[in-house]
Amino acid sequence: MAAETGTPTTLTLKSNDDELFSVAESAAILSVTIRNMVEDGCAGGVIPLDNVDGKTLASVITYMNGISAIPADEEKKKSYRDKFLSDKDFETLADMVLAANYLNMSCLMDAVSAKIAQVMEKKSVGWVRRKFGIENDYTPEEEAAVKEEHKWTFEGVETDDDN
Amino acid sequence: MQRVRVSSQQAPVHKLGDSQMTLSPKFRLPAARSTITDHALDFDSSLTGEPLIPGFPNDVALQCLLRVPVDQHTSCKSVCKRWYSLFGSKELFFTLRKVLGFHDPWLFVFAYHKCTGKIEWKEHFLLYVYFY
């Protein structure tokens, strides 16, 4: 019956740290995960999103509202995405790519993963390991051998103190 | 003049992959190659083992890593052995890009630099290149 009244339907999303967010259904269904829930009729109450924290969900909802307000103009959407991601730090980007994957939002997923790859450019190996929490499994000799193979690629790399 | 024995005269095609063949010095890779290659994991087994990025499902990690420009690959190889096996093989890298449905084409431009005498190259994401 609510759909007949003509007012936009609002969904309530709950993050894994119990924050509640209201979002217009038309924006929320950019997420295929949420769209499926709506179509299956299980979006009546609160929609729990167990893999997304409140801070990340707030960002994702800002994106949903922003991008759905833009009419079908791919150029404008792209420039919105670029602007939206330009001030995000690496940790936020990492949280967002996981959220985009869980929510099944391909446009956000593509944009964030491209941004992550772009941020990685010109960063030192140590920076990449630190940011991704990757353990160095080379022995010192092996690492020296890999670096020796491609010495020239380490020219022009930013110094390690840039966080 | 050195004669080269054509193996097909003695060994039929099904002999390819025979253990003798891999042990034969003729087919051995030059010893000067990096010892790391020995440790490079078969990529399938590395996918089932530890993740490419801790905390990331491998398909999400691949979405990010497969977008890293080719001129960064050699430094990415130094991160860890799993990354070495991903970035160490261009065939694997571009096959995975295809499998995961990356359709944006890359344009590789090679140029000879008159002053330095070096051949330089750079790839461009064609989506962001404008032709005049």
Helix A106-120 × helix A90-103 angle, to 10°: 150
pLDDT band at B27 (very low <50, low <70, confident <90, very high): very low
Question: Do B76 and A128 lie within an 8 Å CB cutoff?
Answer: yes
A162: in domain: no
pTM over 0.90: no
A37: in domain: yes
A161: in domain: no
More confident residue, B118 or A74: A74
Complex-level ipTM: 0.78
pLDDT band at A55 (very low <50, low <70, confident <90, very high): very high
Give the count of domains, chain B: 1
B1: in domain: no
The tokens describing A160, both together, are: 């390690």
Question: Do B64 and A97 lie within an 8 Å CB cutoff?
Answer: yes
B64 close contact with A: CB closer than 8 A: yes
> What is the full DSSP assignment across A82-123?
HHHHHT--HHHHHHHHHHHHHHT-HHHHHHHHHHHHHHHTT-
A98: in domain: yes
Residue A107 maps to which CATH number?
Answer: 3.30.710.10
Q: What residues make up the domain containing A137?
A: 125-154
Write phi, then psi, for A58 (nearest 5 degrees). Answer: -60, -45
A160: in domain: no
The distance between the two most distant Cα atoms of chain A, rounded to a whole number of Å, is: 71
Q: What is the pLDDT of residue B10?
A: 46
pLDDT band at B102 (very low <50, low <70, confident <90, very high): confident
Listed range (A7-21, A42-56, B86-100) with the worst mean pLDDT: B86-100
Q: Compare all CA atoms of chain B with the CA of A145 and give the residue at the minimum distance.
A: B34
Tell me the per-residue pLDDT of A93-149, one tens digit each, with 9 for 90 and over: 999 999 999 999 999 999 999 999 988 888 888 999 999 998 888 888 888 888 887
